[in-house]
Chains A and B, each alone.
Chain A
Amino acid sequence: MRTNLEIALRFLLARRRSMTMSLAGIAFGVGFIILTQAITTGFQEFFIRTILGTDGALRVEDKFQATVVNMGAIDAAGRAAGGVAVESSRKYQEGVAEPRRLIDAIKRFPDTAGVSEVLRGNAGIQSATREESGQVYGIELENHMAVSDLGRQIVAGNMDDFRKTPSGVLVGSALANRLRLRPGDSVLLSHGGRSTRYRVSAIYETGIRDIDKVRVFMHLGEARVLLRKPHGASYLQIGLKNPGRAPEIARQIELMASHRAASWQEREKVWLDVFRFFRILAAITVFTIVVVAGLGMFNTLAMIVMEKTREIAILRSMGYTRLDIAFVFMLQGGLVFAAGAALGWVLGALGTWGVSSVPVSVRGIFSTDHIVVAWDFAHYAGAALAAAAVVLVASWMPARRAALLEPAAIIRGASQ
């Protein structure tokens, strides 16, 4: 094998220029695959972190009553053989009537990291200068901080002030801008013809504009008074130790508690599909660079086979097998792949590091002031695998052709 490798290397170096082009193509292809995957995955993961830190991994909402119908079954002979119970429809009852009991039941799931009871209602929000409509979210602060990043989302004011002040509220940054509110200002909240004055303890920013422009957090007790709902909750927000298991746990909760349970994957399916689409699109686009490099390599190797028929014949005459000859050409592809992939990894890592510090302001579905990247070995392995597949195809055909050459025919032709 070592001799074959040495022959491969010498043949390769004899076509240095064209092989360098192929190598550069592989390196750039691998590098760009890594870079695009780092960026698209980085933004996707950042989006997931944002939604998990805002609305939690799981939300348990309305109670439902399922209508079940029995469908008859028959055996192979056409005889009646019992029946199958099938859910035909659901009748929903808004909110969670007995949140305490449900919280206790959900806390028994080993994956549960925390549960927060939330009471939600529409309200008019009036500052000294303007009035807007928004939504009031009544929470028990410590419980809610256990299932969200609210504590880390404060951009002005003090969470301790909210904790200590029963009439304190937390206002979203976009809403605060519209109403020109600052911590310490008073704000009038109205619901059902009744208004109560509150004090802005802090301003938060989740990065999700649809939330930041409408949501006002207040203590649960105050929300019950304002919204006139002394019992129950609108929903339970649940934090999980492994958010990836949210769909499975949601199904278990639905079966156990007959409450609608929505995982974050289900809630954000549209955005997650958009991210997935862009990741695939980017990978396909950049993969074409590798394919073009592979075509170049195929051409070069095919040329080497044509140029080296005499050398192949003499190697065969001195005892090198067809497999040895095939290896010589496969190894040439392998050498270009190894060097190209290694160079591509370095380019990909440098590119990823470089773009991660590029300033770019994104607001809407999350908030960031620079390009977000993900460092994942899977991107490097995936890019190398894609390049390996192309190189394998590009070198296999010339290698096969070289291995099938008949030495006698070549030598006879050369001698005439």
Chain B
Amino acid sequence: MSMPADTPAPENGGPAKREAIRCARLTRHLGEGDARVHVLREVSLAVAPGTVSAIVGPSGCGKSTLLYLLGLLDRPDGGEIWIANENLARAGDEKRTRVRNEHIGFVFQFHFLLPEFSALENVMLPMRKLGRATPAQMTARAAHLLDAVGLGEKARRPAARLSGGEQQRVAIARALANQPSIILADEPTGNLDVKNSGMVFDLLTRLARENGQAIILVTHNPDIAARCDFLHPMRDGVFV
């Protein structure tokens, strides 16, 4: 289930029972003075667990801005963001950071791995911050995730010595490390060739579906968008 802007919100304003994330009437301006741009205009969206939603549209239409707001990396000028029964649009930095750690996994166009760490250590970083598992459990889970993305044999290899496609697969494993309820992916295949793009998308969606995670991805790739459960075209800061 994925609802665009015209989907009515539940009576209490919070997420409906089967929603992983909901935003309502999100607005956002970027820039200062004459350069100030109205990027998002009262955008609303709700995404159910186990579904894959794609946000598509031309460059500058506000796709990535919406994704960063949903991922609590940025603050909206107005509107609501509901995750785990809490409106986090106005929450403090500590709380937003904790929710990111616990409930959200990110995959970006550029993998952003820490090159000084091995693939295994990169996958363990979110788990070490969460601190719920023992070191042995974290190592086992990271190894399992790397196996799942086909990099079991390269787990101990420094991130800098992996190919672009491999690094993006490590980034997917890292995004899944804390078993978040939401995966946000910003052009996850934008930096990969066609073969690797298909593989990374299949991997991401398969693993997320297996675990009942909601995926929201921003893409310019029409093939990838066509394979998603829901499609949300955007233009000039609103869903069309």
A residues engaging B (CB < 8 A)? 2-3, 7, 10-11, 13-14, 310-311, 313-322, 324, 406-408, 411-412, 414-415
Contacts and interface: CB of A to CB of B under 8 A. Distances in A.
B125 A318 contact: yes
A408 B97 contact: no
B73 A316 contact: yes
Interface stretch (B17-25, B77-85, B102-110, B224-232): B102-110
Interface stretch (B6-14, B112-120, B197-205): B112-120
Contacts of B64: 412, 415
B42 interface: no
Contacts of A414: 108, 110, 112
A281 B145 CA distance: 62
A322 B94 CA distance: 8
B106 A415 contact: no
Given A318-B100, A320-B129, A415 B187 contact: yes
Contacts of A11: 116
Interface residues of B, number: 31
Indicate the member of B74, B94, B114, B186 with the most A CB atoms within 10 Å: B114
Given A3-B128, A11-B116, A412-B68, A317 B110 contact: no
A213 B101 CA distance: 82
B71 interface: yes
Interface in B169-192: 174, 178, 186-187
**Chain A contact residues, majority secondary structure:** helix
A319 B186 CA distance: 18
A408 B129 contact: no
Indicate the member of A320, A406, A411 with the most B CB atoms within 10 Å: A411
25 contacts: A3-B128, A3-B129, A10-B114, A13-B116, A14-B116, A310-B112, A311-B114, A313-B112, A314-B108, A314-B114, A318-B126, A318-B174, A319-B102, A319-B126, A319-B178, A320-B97, A320-B101, A321-B97, A324-B129, A408-B68, A411-B68, A412-B65, A414-B112, A415-B109, A415-B110
Given A3-B129, A411-B73, A317 B106 contact: yes
Given A411-B186, A415-B110, A415-B186, A319 B116 contact: no
B161 interface: no
A174 B143 CA distance: 85
Contact of A318 (B106, B109, B117, B186): B106
Nearest to B73: A408
Given A3-B125, A318-B106, A412-B68, 7 more contacts: A3-B129, A314-B108, A314-B112, A318-B101, A318-B125, A408-B68, A411-B112
A316 B114 contact: no
B167 to A, nearest CB: 12
Contacts of B110: 310, 414-415
B206 interface: no
A406 B116 CA distance: 22
A317 B116 contact: no
A317 B186 contact: no
Contacts of B114: 7, 10, 311, 314-315
Interface string B113-148: 110110000000110111000000000000000000
